[in-house]
Amino acid sequence: MSKSINGTPVARQVDGGQNFVEVDEDSSGAAAISVVHKSIHDGIHYFMEGWTELNNTDEFYVKLVTPSDKEAHFSWTIEATGVLETDFYEGASGGMTGGTSVTPINSNRNSANTSGLTLTKGVSAPSSTGTTISSVKFGVAGRAWRMKGGEVGRDNEIILKKDTIYCRKFVSSSDNNYVHFLASWYEIAD
């Protein structure tokens, strides 16, 4: 069984039920988009982007709190113009005061959905870091570097625990180190 528009097949039934796969008119192949791309179209994909300038031994912290009713499928890209160490902690507690709240942006600008994940940048250090999920040091003074995912070789996504505090720590080993941070995620409800 297939669906058609003006006699041209556009979708074929795949499981004997109500599920169809779209068919590309030119190639007659299945038309597919990634899960991440679909989450953008569905209005459940969010991002935050920012930067800071750090000098040698400066520390900068970002606090993330995940929602209790959704899984955040999270990825990040970090760039620096100098040497940078960055750690990602799960279950951090205490401290993390001050800072500036960041409003996550919905990647589908037509969607009214809002993220359940909260972010605060520039907080004080946590009293307890909890479990270290990632610890990476990269870069060369005066040369821009990029890190994606969390570690070299990771498939660029981590599913964060629900109702959990995470903290990302940045420590510069260079003066005038411009650090760019892009976090993106989609949220799946229970």
**Encoded tokens for 60:** 């900068």
User: Kind and range of the H or E element at 35?
Assistant: helix 35-41
The Cα–Cα gap between 176 and 44 comes to 36
Question: What is the average pLDDT across 133-138?
Answer: 92
Quick: pLDDT tens for 10-34.
Answer: 555 555 555 556 666 666 666 667 7
For 116, residues 6+ apart whose C-beta sits below 8 A from its C-beta are: 66, 67, 69, 70, 72, 187
Three-class SS state of 179: strand
How many Cα neighbours within 13 Å face the side chain of 160? 35
pLDDT in tens, 42-91: 899 999 999 999 999 999 999 999 999 999 999 989 999 889 999 999 99
* Residue 23, pLDDT score: 65
Report the distance separating Cα 16 and Cα 44, nearest Å. Answer: 29
pLDDT in tens, 86-114: 999 999 999 999 999 999 999 999 999 99
**Predicted pLDDT at 35:** 76
